[in-house]
């Protein structure tokens, strides 16, 4: 169906009109993208082309894969490559048809909304995807992908992206970023320092990562001191490449201060291959505090993404690897868990710590009160499963009365799907303006405050929080 110009707004006429007015003023502002997972190689090669409609839209999107899997569509049949030798569909058109035949599954979901936007705005198709229209979509998308306008660098400009931050392992050479920097192309593509692979002792390839860290820093990492030196060296390198932020993933937001001796003791066990789960938990808990200390010193904004139990489905992990839609949220607790970190740096004006949660019961209970007290804390946008119209409404409802908008970090699209970036910002801006409009028509805000807040939510808070 064609996109409704008033989509996502309240049907109540006075609120809708106010929402439209607020939205119109921010709709064309540039896109600030301080956190996401777009691959820099799309921009390193000026002639990069997307391979096929399937490779562009389906294969990298674990939101789509998980839903199809949940309804019994084998990932093999969708062309997802297997690691264990199981045959899989190699005809992208055949796989696309299977996806299309199940497109009704996405009715009322964010994926459905993002794709509707992409199909109409980028490919000029306002029909509904289905078994019947599968080939029309495939052909039209394939034609457009071959046009020069569909080079990622051109799309970056067309999307009006102001800055795009990627997420990069501490052990990444940043070669693609260097190539972009050294090219004539004027764009702001910044790396983000993500040290999970060397900090989380239970990471899949921890030992190999550590060796790579040593190689990149020319350091012999044989104890806690040299480990910190290596991390600091990489942070300095990322800074020199333009990074403004770090990113940390953890199952739980647990923080605990260890003595250097205790930290070294655990690290020595890890180096000998004898660290256990409790070691890993405590070391990560300690290193979150150390990372905050490093942020205080080098000025990098610290992001903490908490609460996903990764790789819940071992069968799928063996067959297809990670990031195929089998990560499941779990309970989180911040009030006590973050206290050791906040005891150390919570009031430090040099620290900015942005928290992202998957457990919405922590919004009003732990996070908004914490962000509404500590100068270092900002609350990140609704994340992952909650990056949706209702997820945003719940976030506004449960967070803003306690910490105000000025203790939030604005929006980030947090996506691997480059093409979905405009759709995601459009949804956020509409949801934000509809929320503000609801406050105006209830006599809580006046028009001018609401207009100012709409700009903040669209671009201002993200720019300022990430020091962009």
Strand, coil or helix: what is 365?
helix
| Residue 102, φ and ψ in degrees, nearest 5 | -110, 20
- 41-70 positions binding a copy of itself, by CB under 8 A: 66-67, 69-70
Query: In Å, how far from its chain's centre is CA 83?
Result: 26
- Least distance from a copy of itself to the Cβ atom of residue 259, Å: 19
User: What distance in Å separates the CA atoms of residue 437 and residue 33, rounded to the nearest whole number?
Assistant: 25
- Least distance from a copy of itself to the Cβ atom of residue 400, Å: 6
The two tokens of residue 359 are: 């457990």
- Least distance from a copy of itself to the Cβ atom of residue 139, Å: 24
Interacting residue with a copy of itself among 40, 195, 325, 460 (CB under 8 A): 325
- 79-98 positions binding a copy of itself, by CB under 8 A: none
Give the CA distances from residue 282 to residues 43, 193, 252, 256, 399, in Å, rounded to whole numbers and listed in that order: 39, 21, 11, 7, 30
- 441-460 positions binding a copy of itself, by CB under 8 A: 441-446, 449, 452-453
Q: Which is nearer to a copy of itself, 222 or 318 (CB)?
A: 318
The answer to whether the CB of 321 falls within 8 A of the CB of 269 is no
Q: Binding of a copy of itself at residue 342 (CB under 8 A)? A: yes
- 3-32 positions binding a copy of itself, by CB under 8 A: 3-4, 6-12, 14-15
H/E element holding 169?
strand 168-169
Strands 168-169, 193-194: pairing kind: parallel
Interacting residue with a copy of itself among 28, 47, 72, 148 (CB under 8 A): 72
- Least distance from a copy of itself to the Cβ atom of residue 47, Å: 37
Q: Which is nearer to a copy of itself, 214 or 296 (CB)?
A: 296
Cite the DSSP H helix spans in 147-276.
Answer: 152-158, 175-182, 196-199, 206-217, 224-240, 260-271
Q: Which is nearer to a copy of itself, 210 or 368 (CB)?
A: 368
User: What distance in Å separates the CA atoms of residue 179 and residue 269, rounded to the nearest whole number?
Assistant: 39
Contacts for 314 with CB less than 8 Å, ≥ 6 apart: none
**CA terminus-to-terminus distance, the chain:** 38
The two tokens of residue 347 are: 């009031």
If one counts every other C-beta atom within 10 angstroms of the C-beta of residue 68, the result is: 22
Q: Which is nearer to a copy of itself, 227 or 356 (CB)?
A: 356
- Least distance from a copy of itself to the Cβ atom of residue 31, Å: 22
Q: Binding of a copy of itself at residue 349 (CB under 8 A)? A: yes
Interacting residue with a copy of itself among 20, 35, 282, 386 (CB under 8 A): 386
User: What distance in Å separates the CA atoms of residue 115 and residue 121, rounded to the nearest whole number?
Assistant: 10
Which range in 77-85, 93-101, 381-389, 408-416 contacts a copy of itself by CB under 8 A? 381-389
- Least distance from a copy of itself to the Cβ atom of residue 68, Å: 10
Give the CA distances from residue 380 to residues 11, 164, 356, 400, 407, in Å, rounded to whole numbers and listed in that order: 28, 17, 5, 12, 9
Q: Which is nearer to a copy of itself, 116 or 243 (CB)?
A: 116
Q: One symbol per residue from 388 to 427: x for binding a copy of itself (CB under 8 A), - otherwise; what is it?
A: xxxx--x--xx-xxxxxxxx--------------------
User: What distance in Å separates the CA atoms of residue 50 and residue 400, rounded to the nearest whole number?
Assistant: 40
Tell me how many residues contact a copy of itself (CB under 8 A): 92
Interacting residue with a copy of itself among 77, 183, 264, 313 (CB under 8 A): 313
- Least distance from a copy of itself to the Cβ atom of residue 372, Å: 5
Which range in 106-114, 145-153, 194-202, 417-425 contacts a copy of itself by CB under 8 A? 106-114
Q: Binding of a copy of itself at residue 316 (CB under 8 A)? A: yes
The answer to whether the CB of 312 falls within 8 A of the CB of 345 is no
User: What distance in Å separates the CA atoms of residue 111 and residue 357, rounded to the nearest whole number?
Assistant: 20
- Least distance from a copy of itself to the Cβ atom of residue 445, Å: 6
Q: Binding of a copy of itself at residue 329 (CB under 8 A)? A: yes
Q: Binding of a copy of itself at residue 333 (CB under 8 A)? A: yes
Q: Which is nearer to a copy of itself, 45 or 202 (CB)?
A: 202
Interacting residue with a copy of itself among 78, 163, 230, 358 (CB under 8 A): 358
């Amino acid at each position: 169906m064609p996109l409704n110009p008033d989509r996502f707004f309240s049907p109540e006429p006075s609120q809708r009109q106010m929402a439209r007015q607020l939205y119109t003023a921010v709709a064309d502002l540039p896109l600030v993208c301080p956190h996401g997972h777009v691959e820099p190689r799309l921009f390193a090669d000026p002639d990069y082309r997307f391979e096929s409609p399937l490779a562009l839209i389906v294969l990298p999107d674990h939101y789509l894969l998980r839903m199809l899997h949940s309804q019994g569509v084998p990932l093999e049949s969708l062309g997802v490559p297997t690691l264990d030798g199981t045959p899989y569909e190699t005809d992208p058109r055949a796989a696309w048809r299977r996806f299309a035949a199940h497109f009704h599954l996405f009715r009322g979901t964010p994926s459905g909304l993002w794709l509707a936007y992409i199909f109409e705005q980028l490919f000029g198709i306002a029909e509904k995807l289905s078994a019947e229209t599968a080939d029309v979509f495939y052909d039209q998308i394939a034609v457009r992908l071959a046009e020069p306008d569909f080079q990622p660098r051109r799309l970056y400009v067309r999307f009006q992206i102001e800055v795009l931050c990627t997420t990069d392992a501490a052990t990444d050479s940043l070669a693609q970023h260097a190539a972009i920097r050294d090219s004539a192309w004027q764009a702001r593509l910044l790396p983000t320092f993500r040290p999970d692979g060397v900090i989380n002792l239970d990471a899949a390839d921890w030992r190999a990562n550590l060796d790579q860290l040593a190689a990149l820093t020319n350091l012999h990492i044989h104890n806690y001191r040299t480990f910190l030196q290596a991390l600091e060296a990489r942070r300095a390198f990322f800074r020199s490449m333009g990074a403004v932020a770090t990113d940390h993933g953890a199952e739980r937001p647990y923080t605990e201060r260890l003595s250097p001796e205790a930290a070294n003791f655990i690290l020595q066990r890890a180096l000998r291959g004898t660290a256990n789960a409790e070691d890993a938990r405590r070391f990560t808990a300690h290193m979150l505090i150390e990372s905050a200390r490093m942020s205080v010193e080098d000025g990098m904004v610290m992001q903490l993404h908490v609460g996903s139990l990764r790789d819940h489905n071992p069968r799928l992990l063996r067959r297809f690897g990670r990031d195929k839609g089998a990560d499941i949220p779990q309970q989180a607790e911040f009030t006590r868990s973050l206290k050791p970190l906040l005891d150390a740096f919570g009031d430090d004006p040099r620290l900015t710590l942005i928290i992202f949660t998957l457990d919405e019961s922590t919004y009003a209970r732990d996070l908004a009160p914490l962000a509404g007290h500590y100068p270092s804390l900002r609350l990140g946008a609704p994340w992952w499963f909650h990056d949706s119209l209702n997820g945003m409404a719940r976030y506004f409802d449960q967070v803003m009365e306690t910490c105000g908008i000025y203790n939030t970090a604005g929006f980030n699209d947090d996506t691997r799907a480059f093409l979905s970036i405009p759709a995601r910002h459009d949804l956020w801006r509409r949801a934000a303006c509809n929320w503000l409009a609801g406050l105006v028509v209830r006599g809580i805000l006046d028009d001018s405050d609401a207009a100012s807040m709409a700009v903040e939510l669209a671009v201002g808070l993200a720019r300022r929080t990430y020091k962009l």
